[in-house]
């Protein structure tokens, strides 16, 4: 999960965003130009499109009397083209509108009413979809007889299913949303819920479907005319012009080529606009969200990165360097022109056998810090711009080449992630997923790796491990899945185990068992643990040292007992005070007022100043350094010592 | 028992059953299986359980979003069954709900004003002036600034959105508020803000709460009595104090043992 | 798995029934006297009497349907009055060429579409992605009837590499090579749009899958990118692409009408166009019914392939 703070922002309007998409602008220009010319046809100095002149037939383009030449009956191609475009556009747009209204209506009603109505409507739609697209249109035209109106009708009918399906799908996901329940509790009638709650929310889907289908519909009506089943002579649309031109294509290619190219250009323009609209309106594609994270977080090269280690070599720690030493880590997300400083200047050391807890609320940068260690922060938009992460005293993980990093990943440093359902590949048996990592790092045979995988599944407490190894993730419970993930992480006996909220998605009783398991196995294997969580209670049971993060910075660190007993940073104090504790119901919950600052607008001074009860003017004037405040303790607060009395 | 606001007797809710249109049998799930309890005016009943315990189904029955398959449920002396028309309006004036996911519970295409004025208009039939007045008051009560009224839900953080959800529920001045995991999607510091607000509102408005949560500590902090649910049944019930001090049922004990607690650990860790 | 296939086959029965209802209802769409419309220029009193007897056109609609369906089940699709032969015979002759054409372009568009989509996704925002995206855009915007004409103009008339039409050479033709020679241009023409659609959706699905947590897990295990993309991402994306290929089969079968017309391919598509202009409704019915049924079968195959790839579908549907 990428942590991003909830910051109030206003979306620019659709038109503004569309105008930023160059391709969409190009598309709209093309479409607008064509539509404009078509609309102006009656006022343009054009020859009658149906005026035949056998003497002037098959004039080539650029001839003095006809700019685009003439066809086999001597009719002016340009004039026919413009008038034909009018017809094609009108038919295509009308078909789109008819299909959109009918299909969306069916989809909305089916999804909202549900039950047998839904079944009946959607089975009907399935029947229409069971026909090859064009064939049904042909059948309808066959029965009604060839004519432009019948072609329009046929094309509309065959497109209804696309709208019905898309709108039904979108509505179904909305119907389960809680705001629909809220509307029912507000006493809204079904009709009002349909029109005021559902319809505005499925509008984007309707618009997207319209913009993607209008191109086809123009193509398909042109196609029917091309086959002689749409526009009937003497009326011409682009398709029938093309159909006429086909027979003489060898002698006069322009007669077919001109309308063909125009259809192509028009549909390209429409599709460009449609793509632009879809990028903006489709929630999946919003804000460029569909960008693929690359193999490793983009990292500024050592020469340019502040805080980078000079080169690999013995560290200043002398004989026994810490296993993991992170200094001044800066990781940021660059989205548009905004820079979100997800982690800024994070220091962290982890010795052999240590267990360090990192605690913070969402947006505090705790996960980003953990993911930065092995370059797993998604890029785009993530980027590591500063600091160093020294592993085992020698190498800076930020400068290791990718293949070296991949050797460490899952080998000497392993991760456990939050949601065990999404972190496992749904199509692969879980045993194979464990065996895969064993094979990668220990170079065993398939058989040997599988045997090891089963052994580890047994060790993490899965009953009947040989059988469970062949199960797919969806066949296991949440707790079992998380055990698989733990087996996967421990299978190569890592030196460092990084667990990112490994129990958040689980029920309390399961959570307790998983925590025990992690703790036991870690002790046995002697791995160092970096445990990321928002739950102070979990830290207290599992870790010896704790790091408290706020707005991308470490605000306090030290031994768990000491930090929890005498917190030195007002945020830590506040955090401890606002957790309800079982067995102490009378304790007043002292809420911290306000919200954390958005990490793209961090203040110059202390990030906590606005919520702090003991803020002074100096807090806001300059960045507050993290400084020692006791044995093995640090805090980022000017008044850390005052807190002792407060 | 004059002051009983909610009385539930042997409530059952089944899901599934019947057959698909192809004639296949759909297995029956007993989400809520014979649950009885009552809630007095002005008190807070906590319902605690793990996922699949049926606590959310119970909440949805209490507010009339789901009909019970069997059993009897009455709120303020009136049976809750097949509500329609005027009766439904009267019921929803008295019973409202706060949902778990603060973002999904607000219509993304409506402004906060539209979200808040809707229930006032429909349930109370209030005119424009009264709507504005009520909405302004309620916004102040939940601690939101008046300029938020013209904004859309995506502009708010989780905590603020949950305050809007609370305002929407309270704007018609209900007697009973059913809260389904209202703070579990929130960060601890924000969770504490909302819990404090809930306590404060209860004292000021004399509200009755049914508070559903998986978090024992939150339940203990806020509730007078508690209902521990597992697999659709109540395994233990009683005043919070007694239940949490001396849990009788093994399941309650195992739930309590599983909670990692800050202070306990400190006691252990501190030399 | 086997039981799934059996169930899926069973589920196809109501679909086929629904198709036959719709195909039958086409007759009832005909304005005016259906017998006259069906016979058109061949409306001799003798033929009118015969068709009224064959189809029971004076009966109520459900009875007509029963008569018609009973005929269909016995392999009797009526008689083509324009060709003066049974519809079944004509359709049987024409079905092979259409199937060859459709399967060839389905193979082409699946192969190239998936490869292009994966390549574009893996090199997102690189020049491969840009070029492919542009090609895809042009591809899905191309009217296949226009493309076909242009290909004939360039490759057949201009360069003389391929024949201008037909399925086999008129003299001394025959054999697989001759068939492929004739098949190349029409198959490519028919595949272009579908390739674009498949490429686009493959890219989208790959991008979506590459953002999933399990891909991060695969990377966190230290797997090389080739394994991350090949073993973890591609298979998951493919599961969502398979149904798209199934849908494209519909577009390919439908689009065959244009391509067969342009390339003089002796398939059902060209037969249908002729039949419509002749108003030979029974021939249209027969052709549509057969092509729709083959579409249903193709979808059956893609469904089974999808279930074979995705274990979740096996258990969820029970």
Q: How confident is the model at residue A635 (pLDDT cuts 50, 70, 90)?
A: very high
Does B184 have pLDDT greater than 80?
yes
Q: What is the mean pLDDT of residues B68-83?
A: 85
Cβ neighbours of B97 in A, within 8 Å? 181-182, 185
Cβ atoms of A315 and A390 closer than 8 Å: yes
Question: What is residue A67's predicted lDDT score, i.e. its pLDDT?
Answer: 77
Give residue C36's Cα distance to chain centre: 32
Question: What is residue B227's predicted lDDT score, i.e. its pLDDT?
Answer: 94
Beta strands B176-180; B95-98: pairing state:
parallel
Does A355 have pLDDT greater than 70?
yes
Are A126 and C262 inside 8 Å of each other by CB?
Answer: no
Assess if residue C181 is contained within a domain.
Answer: yes
Angle between helices C235-263 and C87-122 (to 10 degrees): 130
Interface residue B242 vs chain A (CB under 8 A): no
Assess if residue C82 is contained within a domain.
Answer: no
Q: How far apart are CA A79 and CA A130, in angstroms?
A: 41
C-alpha R_g of chain B: 20
Assess if residue C124 is contained within a domain.
Answer: yes
Cβ neighbours of C235 in A, within 8 Å? 427
Are B100 and A178 inside 8 Å of each other by CB?
Answer: yes
Interface residue B97 vs chain A (CB under 8 A): yes
CB burial string A292-304: b at 16+ within 10 A, e below: bbbbbbbbbeeee
Nearest alpha carbon to residue C104 among C238, C5, C283, C252: C252
Does A393 have pLDDT greater than 90?
no
Same domain, C239 and C288: yes
Interface residue C66 vs chain A (CB under 8 A): no
Q: How far apart are CA A109 and CA A106, in angstroms?
A: 5
Q: Enter the tokens of residue A582.
A: 């079982």
Task: Looking at the complex, report in whole angstroms how far the Cα of residue A187 sits from the nearest Cα belonging to chain B.
Answer: 6
Q: How confident is the model at residue A581 (pLDDT cuts 50, 70, 90)?
A: confident
Number of independent structural domains in chain C: 2
Are A593 and B261 inside 8 Å of each other by CB?
Answer: no
Q: How far apart are CA B78 and CA B124, in angstroms?
A: 19
CATH of the domain at C231: 1.10.3720.10
A497 strand-pairing partners: A414, A529
Cβ neighbours of C271 in A, within 8 Å? none
CA angle, corner A137, sides to A129 and C10, nearest 5? 30
Question: What is residue B23's predicted lDDT score, i.e. its pLDDT?
Answer: 62
Chains touching A (3+ CB pairs < 8 Å)? B, C
Q: Could you report the per-residue pLDDT of C1-59, keeping only the tens digit for each?
A: 777 788 888 888 888 888 888 888 877 777 766 677 666 667 777 777 777 776 667 77
Cβ atoms of A96 and A159 closer than 8 Å: yes
Chains touching B (3+ CB pairs < 8 Å)? A
Assess if residue C37 is contained within a domain.
Answer: yes
Q: Which of A123, A178, A421, A575 to mutate to test the interface with B (most CBs of B within 10 A)?
A: A178
Domain boundary (C51, C73, C95) is at: C73
Of B151, B157, B221, the CB nearest to A6: B157
Question: What is residue B135's predicted lDDT score, i.e. its pLDDT?
Answer: 93
The mean-pLDDT minimum among A61-65, A219-223, A246-250, A386-390 falls in: A61-65
Question: What is residue A311's predicted lDDT score, i.e. its pLDDT?
Answer: 55
Are A182 and B156 inside 8 Å of each other by CB?
Answer: no
Interface residue C208 vs chain A (CB under 8 A): yes
- Coil, strand, or helix at residue A343? strand
Interface residue B118 vs chain A (CB under 8 A): yes
Same domain, C33 and C115: no
For residue A75, give the DSSP letter: -
Q: How confident is the model at residue C260 (pLDDT cuts 50, 70, 90)?
A: very high
Interface residue A448 vs chain C (CB under 8 A): no
Interface residue C124 vs chain A (CB under 8 A): yes
Q: Enter the tokens of residue A404.
A: 């070296």
Q: What is the spatial order of strands in the sheet that A496-500 belongs to?
A: A413-416, A496-500, A528-533, A355-359, A545-550, A553-559, A633-635, A627-630
Q: Could you report the per-residue pLDDT of A606-616, keeping only the tens digit for each?
A: 999 999 988 89
Q: Could you report the per-residue pLDDT of A285-317, keeping only the tens digit for each?
A: 554 556 778 888 988 888 888 887 765 455 455
Q: Least CA distance to A9: which residue of chain B?
A: B155
Q: How many other C-beta atoms can be found within 10 angstroms of the C-beta atom of residue A266? A: 26
Same domain, C185 and C244: yes
Q: Could you tell me the pTM of the whole model?
A: 0.86
Q: Enter the tokens of residue B33.
A: 């299986």
Q: What is the mean pLDDT of residues C142-158?
A: 89
Of A138, A268, A485, the CB nearest to C137: A268
Question: What is residue C318's predicted lDDT score, i.e. its pLDDT?
Answer: 36
Q: How far apart are CA C132 and CA C116, in angstroms?
A: 7
Q: Enter the tokens of residue A584.
A: 């102490």
Q: Could you report the per-residue pLDDT of A412-430, keeping only the tens digit for each?
A: 999 998 877 889 999 999 9
Cβ neighbours of A123 in C, within 8 Å? 14, 18
Nearest alpha carbon to residue C157 among A248, A384, A449, A572: A248
Cβ atoms of A356 and A534 closer than 8 Å: no
Q: How confident is the model at residue C173 (pLDDT cuts 50, 70, 90)?
A: low
Of A182, A187, A507, the CB nearest to B50: A507
Task: Looking at the complex, report in whole angstroms how far the Cα of residue A132 sits from the nearest Cα belonging to chain C.
Answer: 4
Beta strands A298-299; A382-391: pairing state:
parallel
Contacts with A, B 186-215, CB within 8 Å: 187-193, 195-196, 214-215
Question: What is residue C101's predicted lDDT score, i.e. its pLDDT?
Answer: 94
Contacts with B, A 511-550, CB within 8 Å: 511-512, 515, 534-538, 540-542
Q: Could you report the per-residue pLDDT of A361-392, keeping only the tens digit for each?
A: 888 999 999 999 999 998 888 899 989 999 98
Give residue C70's Cα distance to chain centre: 27
Q: What is the mean pLDDT of residues C88-107?
A: 92
Q: Enter the tokens of residue C119.
A: 């390549």
Question: What is residue A157's predicted lDDT score, i.e. its pLDDT?
Answer: 92
Does A526 have pLDDT greater than 50?
yes
Interface residue A115 vs chain B (CB under 8 A): no
CA angle, corner A95, sides to A92 and A100, nearest 5? 125
- What CATH superfamily classification does B4-76+175-266 receive? P-loop containing nucleotide triphosphate hydrolases (3.40.50.300)
pLDDT > 90 in chain B, percent: 46
Are A508 and B266 inside 8 Å of each other by CB?
Answer: no
Same domain, C108 and C38: no
Question: What is residue A316's predicted lDDT score, i.e. its pLDDT?
Answer: 53
Q: How far apart are CA A557 and CA A500, in angstroms?
A: 18
Question: Measured on CA atoms in the order B112, B116, B122, B126, is the torsion positive or negative?
Answer: negative
Q: Could you report the per-residue pLDDT of B203-262, keeping only the tens digit for each?
A: 999 999 999 999 888 999 899 999 999 999 999 999 998 998 899 999 999 988 888 766
* ipTM of predicted complex: 0.90
Q: How confident is the model at residue B19 (pLDDT cuts 50, 70, 90)?
A: low
Interface residue C273 vs chain A (CB under 8 A): yes
Of A361, A509, A534, the CB nearest to B50: A509
Residue A12's Cβ-side half-sphere holds a number of Cα atoms within 13 Å equal to: 8
The mean-pLDDT minimum among A89-98, A115-124, C237-246 falls in: A115-124
The mean-pLDDT minimum among A57-61, A68-72, A500-504, C312-316 falls in: C312-316
Q: Could you report the per-residue pLDDT of B96-136, keeping only the tens digit for each?
A: 999 988 888 899 889 999 999 999 999 988 889 999 999 99
CB burial string A139-159: b at 16+ within 10 A, e below: bbbbbbbbbbebbbbbbbbbb
Maximum distance among all Cα pairs of chain C, rounded to whole angstroms: 81
Of A135, A226, A290, the CB nearest to C208: A290
- Coil, strand, or helix at residue A203? helix
Same domain, C151 and C286: yes
CA angle, corner A345, sides to A339 and A349, nearest 5? 140
Does A279 have pLDDT greater than 60?
yes
Are A132 and C251 inside 8 Å of each other by CB?
Answer: yes
Are B63 and A540 inside 8 Å of each other by CB?
Answer: no
Of C29, C124, C281, the CB nearest to A292: C124
Of A182, A560, A589, the CB nearest to B269: A560
What residue has token string 């090579």?
C177
pLDDT > 70 in chain A, percent: 94
Of A139, A293, A422, the CB nearest to C26: A139
Q: How confident is the model at residue B266 (pLDDT cuts 50, 70, 90)?
A: very low
Nearest alpha carbon to residue A393 among A316, A496, A497: A316
Does A204 have pLDDT greater than 80?
yes
Question: What is residue B269's predicted lDDT score, i.e. its pLDDT?
Answer: 36
Q: Could you report the per-residue pLDDT of A98-154, keeping only the tens digit for each?
A: 999 999 999 999 999 888 888 888 888 888 888 888 888 888 888 888 889 999 999
Q: Least CA distance to C34: which residue of chain A?
A: A143
Domain boundary (C27, C44, C73) is at: C73
The reply to whether omega before A8 is within 30° of 0 (cis) is no
Assess if residue C182 is contained within a domain.
Answer: yes
Question: What is residue A156's predicted lDDT score, i.e. its pLDDT?
Answer: 94
Does C82 have pLDDT greater than 90?
no
Question: What is residue C35's predicted lDDT score, i.e. its pLDDT?
Answer: 73
Q: Which long-range contacts (CB under 8 A, 24 or more apart) does A514-522 make?
A: A514/A479, A514/A482, A514/A483, A514/A486, A515/A541, A515/A542, A515/B260, A517/A460, A517/A461, A517/A483, A517/A486, A518/A416, A518/A486, A518/A542, A521/A459, A521/A460, A521/A486, A521/A490, A522/A355, A522/A497
Same domain, C110 and C226: yes
- Coil, strand, or helix at residue A331? strand
Residue C84 burial by Cβ neighbours in a 10 Å radius (0-12, 13-18, 19+)? exposed
Q: What is the mean pLDDT of residues C210-218?
A: 91
Q: Which of C141, C262, C288, C313 to mutate to test the interface with A (most CBs of A within 10 A)?
A: C141
Interface residue C278 vs chain A (CB under 8 A): no
Q: How far apart are CA A358 and CA A343, in angstroms?
A: 13
Question: Measured on CA atoms in the order C211, C217, C220, C226, is the torsion positive or negative?
Answer: negative
Does A554 have pLDDT greater than 90?
yes
Same domain, C109 and C54: no
Q: How far apart are CA A205 and CA A165, in angstroms?
A: 11
Are C29 and A423 inside 8 Å of each other by CB?
Answer: no
pLDDT > 90 in chain A, percent: 36
Q: Least CA distance to A228: which residue of chain C?
A: C277
Domain boundary (C73, C99, C122) is at: C73
Q: Could you report the per-residue pLDDT of B137-159, keeping only the tens digit for each?
A: 999 888 888 888 998 888 888 88
Cβ neighbours of B108 in A, within 8 Å? 201
Cβ atoms of B135 and B120 closer than 8 Å: yes
Q: What is the mean pLDDT of residues C111-133?
A: 89
Q: Least CA distance to A214: which residue of chain C?
A: C141
Domain extent for C37 = 2-73
Q: What is the DSSP string of A296-323?
A: S-EE--TTTSTT--SSSS--TTTTS--S
Q: Enter the tokens of residue C245.
A: 């290929």
A350 strand-pairing partners: A324
Q: Which of B21, B98, B188 to mutate to test the interface with A (most CBs of A within 10 A)?
A: B188
- Coil, strand, or helix at residue B33? strand
Q: Could you report the per-residue pLDDT of A22-42, keeping only the tens digit for each?
A: 888 899 999 999 999 989 888
Interface residue A326 vs chain C (CB under 8 A): no
Q: What is the mean pLDDT of residues C88-102?
A: 91
């Amino acid at each position: 999960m990428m942590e991003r703070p909830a910051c109030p922002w206003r979306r620019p309007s659709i038109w503004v965003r569309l105008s930023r998409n160059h391709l969409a602008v190009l598309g709209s220009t093309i479409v607008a130009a064509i539509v404009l010319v078509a609309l102006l046809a009656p006022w343009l100095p054009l020859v009658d499109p149906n005026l035949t002149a056998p003497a002037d037939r098959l004039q080539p383009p650029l001839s003095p009397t006809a700019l685009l030449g003439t066809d086999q009956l001597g009719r002016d191609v340009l004039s026919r083209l413009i008038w034909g475009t009018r017809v094609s556009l009108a038919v295509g747009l009308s078909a789109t509108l008819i299909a959109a209204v009918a299909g969306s209506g069916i989809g909305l009603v089916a999804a909202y009413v549900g039950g047998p109505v839904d079944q009946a409507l959607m089975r009907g739609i399935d029947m229409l979809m069971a026909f090859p697209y064009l064939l049904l249109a042909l059948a309808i035209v066959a029965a009604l007889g060839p004519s432009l109106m019948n072609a329009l009708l046929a094309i509309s009918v065959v497109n209804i299913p696309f709208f019905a399906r898309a709108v039904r799908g979108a509505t179904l996901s909305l119907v389960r949303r809680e705001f629909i329940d809220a509307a029912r509790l507000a006493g809204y009638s079904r009709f009002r819920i349909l029109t005021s709650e559902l319809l505005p929310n499925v509008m984007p889907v309707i618009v997207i479907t319209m913009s993607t289908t209008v191109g086809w519909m123009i193509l398909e009506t042109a196609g029917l005319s091309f086959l002689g089943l749409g526009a009937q002579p003497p009326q011409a649309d682009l398709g029938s012009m093309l159909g006429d031109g086909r027979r003489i294509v060898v002698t006069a290619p322009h007669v077919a080529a001109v309308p063909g190219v125009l259809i192509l250009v028009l549909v390209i323009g429409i599709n460009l606009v449609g793509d632009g609209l879809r990028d903006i309106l489709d929630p999946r594609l919003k804000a460029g969200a569909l960008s693929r994270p690359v193999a490793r977080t983009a990292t500024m090269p050592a020469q340019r990165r502040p805080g980078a280690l000079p080169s690999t070599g013995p560290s200043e720690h002398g004989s026994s360097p810490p296993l993991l030493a992170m200094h001044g880590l800066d990781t940021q997300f660059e989205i548009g022109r905004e820079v979100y400083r997800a982690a800024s200047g994070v220091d962290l050391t982890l010795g052999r056998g240590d267990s360090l807890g990192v605690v913070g609320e969402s947006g505090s940068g705790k996960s980003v810090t953990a993911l930065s260690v092995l370059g797993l922060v998604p890029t785009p938009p993530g980027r590591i711009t500063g600091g160093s992460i020294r592993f085992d005293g020698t190498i800076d993980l930020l400068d290791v080449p990718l293949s070296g990093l991949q050797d460490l990943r899952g080998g000497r440093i392993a991760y456990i992630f939050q949601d065990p359902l999404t972190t496992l590949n749904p199509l692969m048996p879980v045993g194979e997923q464990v065996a895969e990592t064993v094979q990668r790092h220990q170079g065993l045979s398939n058989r040997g790796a599988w045997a090891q995988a089963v052994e580890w599944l047994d060790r993490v407490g899965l009953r009947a491990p040989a059988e469970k190894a062949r199960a797919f993730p969806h066949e296991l419970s949440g707790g079992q899945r998380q055990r698989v993930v733990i087996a996967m992480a421990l299978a190569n006996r890592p030196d460092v185990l990084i667990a990112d909220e490994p129990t958040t998605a689980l029920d309390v009783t399961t959570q307790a068992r998983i925590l025990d398991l992690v703790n036991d196995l870690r002790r046995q294997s002697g791995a160092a643990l970096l445990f990321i969580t928002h739950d102070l209670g979990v830290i207290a049971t599992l870790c010896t040292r704790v790091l408290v993060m706020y707005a991308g910075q470490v605000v306090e660190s030290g031994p768990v007992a000491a930090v929890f007993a005498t917190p030195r940073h007002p945020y830590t104090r506040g955090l401890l005070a606002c957790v309800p504790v079982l067995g102490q119901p009378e304790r007043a919950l002292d809420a911290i007022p306000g919200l954390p600052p958005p990490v793209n607008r961090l203040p110059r001074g202390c990030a906590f100043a606005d919520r702090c009860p003991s803020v002074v003017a100096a807090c806001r004037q300059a960045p507050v350094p993290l400084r020692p405040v006791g044995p093995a303790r640090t805090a980022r607060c000017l008044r850390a010592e005052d807190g002792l009395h407060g | 028992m004059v002051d009983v606001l909610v009385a539930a007797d042997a409530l059952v809710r089944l899901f599934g059953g019947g057959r698909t249109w192809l004639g296949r049998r759909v297995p029956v799930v007993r989400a809520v299986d014979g649950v009885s309890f009552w809630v007095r005016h002005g008190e807070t009943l906590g319902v605690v359980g793990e996922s699949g315990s049926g606590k959310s189904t119970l909440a949805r029955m209490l507010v009339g979003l789901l009909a019970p398959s069997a059993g009897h449920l009455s709120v303020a002396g009136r049976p809750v069954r097949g509500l329609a028309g005027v009766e439904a309006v009267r019921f929803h004036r008295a019973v409202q709900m706060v949902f778990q996911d603060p973002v999904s519970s607000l219509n993304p295409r409506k402004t906060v004003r539209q979200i808040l004025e809707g229930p006032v208009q429909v349930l109370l039939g209030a005119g424009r002036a009264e709507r504005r007045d009520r909405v302004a008051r309620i916004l102040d009560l939940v601690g939101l600034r008046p300029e938020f009224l013209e904004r859309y839900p995506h502009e708010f953080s989780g905590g603020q959105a949950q305050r809007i959800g609370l305002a929407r529920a309270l704007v018609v001045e209900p007697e009973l508020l059913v809260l389904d995991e209202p703070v579990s999607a929130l960060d601890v510091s924000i969770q504490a803000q909302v819990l404090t607000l809930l306590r404060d509102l209860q004292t000021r408005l004399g509200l009755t709460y049914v508070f559903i949560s998986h978090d024992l500590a939150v339940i203990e902090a806020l509730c007078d009595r508690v209902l521990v649910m597992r697999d659709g049944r109540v395994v233990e019930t009683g005043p919070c104090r007694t239940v949490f001090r001396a849990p009788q049922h093994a399941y309650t004990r195992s739930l309590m043992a599983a909670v990692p607690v800050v202070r306990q650990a400190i006691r252990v860790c501190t030399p | 798995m086997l039981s799934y296939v059996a169930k899926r086959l069973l589920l196809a029965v109501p679909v086929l029934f629904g198709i036959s209802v719709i195909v039958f209802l086409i007759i009832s769409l005909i304005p005016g006297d259906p017998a006259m419309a069906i016979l058109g220029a061949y409306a001799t009193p003798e033929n009118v009497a015969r068709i009224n007897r064959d189809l029971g056109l004076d009966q109520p609609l459900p009875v007509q349907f029963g008569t018609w369906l009973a005929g269909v089940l016995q392999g009797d699709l009526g008689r083509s009055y324009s060709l003066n032969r049974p519809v079944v015979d004509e359709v049987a002759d024409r079905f092979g060429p259409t199937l060859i054409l459709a399967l060839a372009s389905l193979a082409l568009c699946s192969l190239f579409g998936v490869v292009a989509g994966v390549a574009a996704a893996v090199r997102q925002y690189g020049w491969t992605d840009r070029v492919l995206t542009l090609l895809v855009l042009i591809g899905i915007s191309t009217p296949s009837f226009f493309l076909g004409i242009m290909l004939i103009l360039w490759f057949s008339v201009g360069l003389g590499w391929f024949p201008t039409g037909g399925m086999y050479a008129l003299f001394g033709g025959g054999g697989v090579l001759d068939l492929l020679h004739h098949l190349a241009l029409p198959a490519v023409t028919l595949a272009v749009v579908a390739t674009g659609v498949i490429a686009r959706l493959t890219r989208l699905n790959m991008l979506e899958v590459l953002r999933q947590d399990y891909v991060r897990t695969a990377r966190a295990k230290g797997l090389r990118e080739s394994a991350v993309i090949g073993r973890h991402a591609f298979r998951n994306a493919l599961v969502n692409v398979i149904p798209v290929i199934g849908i494209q089969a519909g577009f390919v079968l439908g689009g065959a009408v244009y391509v067969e017309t342009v390339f003089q391919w002796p398939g059902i598509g060209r037969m249908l166009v002729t039949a419509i202009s002749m108003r030979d409704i029974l021939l249209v019915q027969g052709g549509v019914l057969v092509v729709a049924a083959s579409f249903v079968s193709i979808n059956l195959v893609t469904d089974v392939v999808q279930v074979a790839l995705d274990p979740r579908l096996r258990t969820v549907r029970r």
